[in-house]
Chains A and B, each alone.
Chain A
Amino acid sequence: MTTPLDQMTILPVILPAMAAAFLVLALRHHLAGQRIASIGVTLLLVGIAAFLLAQASDGTVRAYRLGDWPAPYGITLVLDRLSATLLLLTAVLALCVVVYAAGGVDGRGRHFHPLFQFQLMGINGAFLTGDVFNLFVFFEVMLIASYGLMLHGGGPARLKAGFQYVAINLLASVVFLVGVGLIYAVTGTLNMADLAVKVPQVAEADAALLKAGALLLFLVFATKAALVPLHWWLPATYAGASAPAAAMFMIMTKVGAYAIIRVYGLVFGAGAGPLALAAAPFVIPAALVTLAVGAIGLVGSRTLRDLSAFAVIASMGTLLVAIGLFDAAGLAAGLYYLVHSTLAGAALFLIAGLVQEQRGAARDRLVPGPAMAGETLIGGLFFLAAIALVGLPPLSGFLGKVMILKAAQASAIWPWIWGLILAASLVMTFGFARAGSVLFWASGPASGTKPPPALSLAAVVLFLGLMVAWTLAAGPATDGLQLTARQALDRSAYIGAVLGPDARLAARD
């Protein structure tokens, strides 16, 4: 029944898992070999993800049943446009990050590359899974690897920040399990397609219990996506981690956003009867506060890494405003912005890493320090990344924000959305301008450090090049993302692909 090409769906999970084990067992003490193997595997992942996206862009939802156990009893992976798009984004991001790390950061602790591959396995799995409990498992795989990556390189401050990060995520996991337990108790299933069928049919007496479970789950995803007031872990974690680890973590906040789209767009989406759009009333207000907190924190930051972390919070706020609209136009604009903000945020963290290496004792604090080797180049790259993150023309951040503003006109509170997004952009411009002028203009004599490694610089240039390409491709990209958004909100296609056409008919009735 299945052709070998259909088996490709599982590769983004299996390949990094095998690669990580191989790196630990066979190349334990060969950093050069680890680098080559890790870059090679990541390159292969880019290829696989591109193939899967090409496969998914014919508009069908593909269900992959592990061991051919029929859904909803077995484990199901689901490949559609949304998951394929995010797989490709993850692979491209990972390629740039691993090239940057090969410039020298990976040698400061042990096992950077195996941890990196394990994290890729968890992220890819979370994007592909069609089952809420497997989402939990892949979250945990991703988090365990991220704990290791976050602590990579050591140091007391990193250990303290790491403890908080691990503690808050363990708490989130506990809440996740309580939510999953409640949903299972009411519906008797955890398969997302089966849930989408059963949630609208829930007895009235059980609806409140199910809603409690759904909202507990929302708390977990909001924690991952750094939605205010659950964002407190993010600045310390991202600013405490090494530059490539922080850049890779950019996709982890997006996993939270993806889970919100999947669970609250599909399972508890518009067609879910009494529980339709269970989380929707909370998303946009919280996202607007997130945006404000990010912008204010950005201005108040004392180091470039803190500033980057608050820029990430602000961009998550903007993204979740778009997702919170829960319609196709908002989701398409949000997805365009999601790709952009992942690339731009990762570039900014890598630049912060370069700046920190170059300024001696001043590190990345926003105080006048010695001039950097390659200051013009790093300064130029920072300027581009700042423009992109603030959302000024001509880069993709501007286009993304315009699309979100346009889509937000459908919302009843659109004056608030417009006002806050525009005001936050202004405040962020001020924060970036201050940081840039202190770092690059108020510098003293050269510190005499070595110029940054060519590989690391190449990775940053690659990111900015990708962003320019994303800007130029805005027309075709938005056309594709419109279809992606419509497919992601289409319950009957998803249910039909996973459970078979009969269930699709039942769902329609």
Chain B
Amino acid sequence: MELLVAAAIGILTTAGTYLMLRAYTFPVILGLTFLSYAVNVFLFAMGRLAIDRPPVISPDAPGYTDPLPQALVLTAIVISFGMTALIVALALRGYLETGSDRSTLDAPRRTDAGGGA
């Protein structure tokens, strides 16, 4: 099981890093999503992998699994979900307003167009 979890984290991180380095917004968002999945599994594994153990105290439990990383992962999932929604909306607005999906800054800055107040 350790190998499976470790490989999953590794593959997700690799795919996420590769996609993050693209110059277009959509792959970057996908990459961020992969990375946040990887980190969720990673955090979960940091409480040690234990099977069939309860996280809360009960008198006849043979042992416990650490409940704290599960709480941390829950928080991390909520935050990364909200952030992903935001960045998708942002990328979509950027695409609709500039007509390009490129995530570089050069084009609009060279002409000094827009920028607001």
Is A174 within 8 A of B39, CB to CB? yes
Closest CB-CB distance, B90 to chain A, in whole Å?
5
| Most chain A Cβ neighbours within 10 Å, of B20, B91, B109 | B109
Is B82 within 8 A of A153, CB to CB? no
From A137, A159, A171, A181, contact of B97 by CB (8 A): A159
Tell me which residues from 165 to 219 in chain A have a Cβ below 8 Å from any Cβ of chain B.
Answer: 166-167, 170-171, 173-174, 177-178, 180-182, 184-185
* CA gap between A160 and B94 in the complex, in Å: 6
Tell me which residues from 10 to 41 in chain B have a Cβ below 8 Å from any Cβ of chain A.
Answer: 20, 25, 28, 32, 35-36, 38-39
Is A108 within 8 A of B105, CB to CB? no
Which A residues are CB-close (under 8 A) to B98?
156, 159-160
| Most chain B Cβ neighbours within 10 Å, of A154, A155, A177, A182 | A177
Closest CB-CB distance, B15 to chain A, in whole Å?
13
Closest CB-CB distance, A390 to chain B, in whole Å?
26
From A151, A166, A173, A177, contact of B43 by CB (8 A): A177
Is B86 within 8 A of A166, CB to CB? yes
* CA gap between A391 and B51 in the complex, in Å: 61
Interface presence of A329 (CB below 8 A)? no
Which B residues are CB-close (under 8 A) to A105?
117
* CA gap between A167 and B48 in the complex, in Å: 30
Which B residues are CB-close (under 8 A) to A356?
117
From A157, A178, A303, A365, contact of B42 by CB (8 A): A178
Q: Mark B40-52, 1 if CB is under 8 A from A, else 0.
A: 0011001110000
Closest CB-CB distance, A181 to chain B, in whole Å?
4
Is A156 within 8 A of B94, CB to CB? yes
Is A170 within 8 A of B105, CB to CB? no
Closest CB-CB distance, B105 to chain A, in whole Å?
5
Q: Given A161-B105, A171-B35, is A181 in contact with B42 using a C-beta cutoff of 8 Å?
A: yes
* CA gap between A142 and B114 in the complex, in Å: 26
Contact size class for A? 35 or more
Number of residues of chain B lying within 8 A (CB) of chain A: 41
Q: Residue of A at shortest CB range from B83?
A: A170
Which A residues are CB-close (under 8 A) to B93?
159
Interface presence of A400 (CB below 8 A)? no
Which A residues are CB-close (under 8 A) to B104?
160
From A108, A170, A182, A357, contact of B46 by CB (8 A): A182
From A163, A167, A353, contact of B117 by CB (8 A): A353
Is A185 within 8 A of B46, CB to CB? yes
Is B105 within 8 A of A156, CB to CB? no
Q: Given A153-B117, A155-B115, A236-B105, is A163 in contact with B69 using a C-beta cutoff of 8 Å?
A: no
Q: Residue of A at shortest CB range from B91?
A: A163
From B38, B42, B76, B103, contact of A163 by CB (8 A): B103
Q: Given A153-B117, A160-B98, A167-B28, is A184 in contact with B112 using a C-beta cutoff of 8 Å?
A: no
Closest CB-CB distance, B43 to chain A, in whole Å?
5
* CA gap between A381 and B88 in the complex, in Å: 41
Closest CB-CB distance, A422 to chain B, in whole Å?
32
Main secondary structure of the interface of B (DSSP, over half): helix
Which A residues are CB-close (under 8 A) to B55?
none
Q: Mark B83-117, 1 if CB is under 8 A from A, else 0.
A: 10011001101100110000111001100111111
* CA gap between A458 and B69 in the complex, in Å: 49
Is A159 within 8 A of B94, CB to CB? yes
Interface presence of A158 (CB below 8 A)? yes
Interface presence of A327 (CB below 8 A)? no
Interface presence of A332 (CB below 8 A)? no
Which B residues are CB-close (under 8 A) to A163?
25, 87, 90-91, 94, 103
* CA gap between A182 and B20 in the complex, in Å: 23
Which A residues are CB-close (under 8 A) to B109?
157, 236
Interface presence of B61 (CB below 8 A)? no
Q: Given A158-B114, A181-B42, is A151 in contact with B90 using a C-beta cutoff of 8 Å?
A: yes
Q: Given A161-B105, A163-B94, is A174 in contact with B35 using a C-beta cutoff of 8 Å?
A: yes
Q: Mark A132-163, 1 if CB is under 8 A from B, else 0.
A: 01000100100010010001011111111111
Is A242 within 8 A of B94, CB to CB? no
Interface presence of A110 (CB below 8 A)? no
Which A residues are CB-close (under 8 A) to B86?
144, 147, 166
Interface presence of A240 (CB below 8 A)? yes
Interface of B with A (CB < 8 Å)?
A: 20, 25, 28, 32, 35-36, 38-39, 42-43, 46-48, 68-69, 72, 75-76, 79-80, 82-83, 86-87, 90-91, 93-94, 97-98, 103-105, 108-109, 112-117
Interface of A with B (CB < 8 Å)?
A: 105, 108, 133, 137, 140, 144, 147, 151, 153-164, 166-167, 170-171, 173-174, 177-178, 180-182, 184-185, 236, 240, 242-243, 303, 353, 356-357, 363, 365
Closest 7 pairs between A and B when the two form their complex, measured CB to CB = A155-B116, A155-B114, A185-B46, A157-B114, A181-B46, A159-B94, A157-B108
Offer 7 A-B interface pairs, CB within 8 angstroms, sorted by A.
Answer: A147-B90, A151-B90, A156-B97, A160-B94, A166-B90, A177-B72, A182-B46
